[in-house]
Structure 1
Amino acid sequence: MPIRAVVYVSEAVASVADSGSGLPSPKLDDLVKDAARFNRDAGVTGVLLFDGSRFLQYLEGPEDGLAVAYARVLGAQSHVGVVELQRGRVGQRRLPFWPMRWLPVDRLELSSVAHSDWTRFNRRGDADAMNATAMDRLNALVIPHVAAA
């Protein structure tokens, strides 16, 4: 079964965004728990990066499950200004670790991943290289959390 992926960025609404305390609203945990329950049944995995005001989410899974999960994302009232960065087929799952999990990142990390090359969700293997792909950079942010879990 072919695996497809989609990645986007968006702005958190005030009820979800960091209120200046350095911590996100408890509503973010509730949203992610709900997404994880849904994604588990749909066969979708993914990660949500959050810098206190902006999201970058990567989702992957079978075409039908991903389509429904992404439709839920597009209809969510927790964010605005969704900009799709890439969508397409991937040979195998790139981030099979969780049905959904959010990770705190700083603004520069989120920006670096968002503005990197998302073409075909390629990985070169070196997140520190000048020509690192977006998947290289995303993977470098995710892997420490996988090892810690």
Structure 2
Amino acid sequence: MPIRAITYVSEACPAISGCDPGKGTELLDRVVDDAARFNRDAGVSGVLLFDGCRFLQYMEGPADGLRVAYSRVIGASSHGELIELQRGRVGQRRVPFWPMRWLPVEPQVLSRLAGSDWTGFKQRGDSGALNATAMDILVALVEPHAQVA
């Protein structure tokens, strides 16, 4: 079964925005826990990066599960100003560890990732290179936190 992926950036709602990105809020934890419960049943995995004001989410899974999970994202009141960066087919899962988890990132890291090349979800394998792809950067951010849910 082919795996598909979607990534987007969005602005956190006022109840979440402005909090310490390392601690998040109770609301953020509830939103992510709810997504993880849904995604587990839908076969979707992913990560939500949070810089205190903005989100960048990468999610992957079978087309049907991903479509429903993403429709939930679009309708969520926990964020707004959603901008889709890329969607398409991926050769393999890149974040199979969690149905959903949030990780704190610095604003400049989130900006660099959002502005990087997401085309085809390609990965070259060198996150430190000047021409690193978005997937190179994302995988380098996620790997130190990788654990099976």
- Aligned mates of 2:114, 2:19 — CA distance in 1: 23
- AA aligned to 2:53 is S
Q: How does 1:76-95 map to 2 (within 5 A)?
A: 76-95=76-95
Partner residue, 2:46: 46
Tell me, what secondary structure is at the counterpart of 1:18? coil
Shift of 1:19: 3.5
Partner residue, 2:145: 145
Tell me, what secondary structure is at the counterpart of 1:93? coil
Tell me, what secondary structure is at the counterpart of 2:40? helix
Report the more deviating stretch, 20-29 or 77-86: 20-29
Deviations 1:83-133 (A, max 9, x none): 000000111111111000000000011011110000100000000000000
Contact 1:85–1:114, Cα closer than 8 Å, also in 2: yes
Runs of 4+ in 1 over 6 A off after TM superposition: none
- AA aligned to 2:116 is S
Among all aligned residue pairs of Structure 1 and Structure 2, give the percentage whose two residues are the same amino acid.
66
Which sections of structure 2, spanning at least 5 residues, go unmatched? none
Q: How many residue pairs align between the two structures?
A: 149
- AA aligned to 1:72 is R
Which sections of structure 1, spanning at least 5 residues, go unmatched? none
Tell me, what secondary structure is at the counterpart of 1:67? helix
Partner residue, 1:2: 2
Partner residue, 1:69: 69
Report the more deviating stretch, 1-10 or 20-29: 20-29
- TM-score of the superposed pair, with normalisation by structure 2: 0.95
- AA aligned to 1:110 is L
Shift of 1:20: 6.0
- TM-score of the superposed pair, with normalisation by structure 1: 0.95
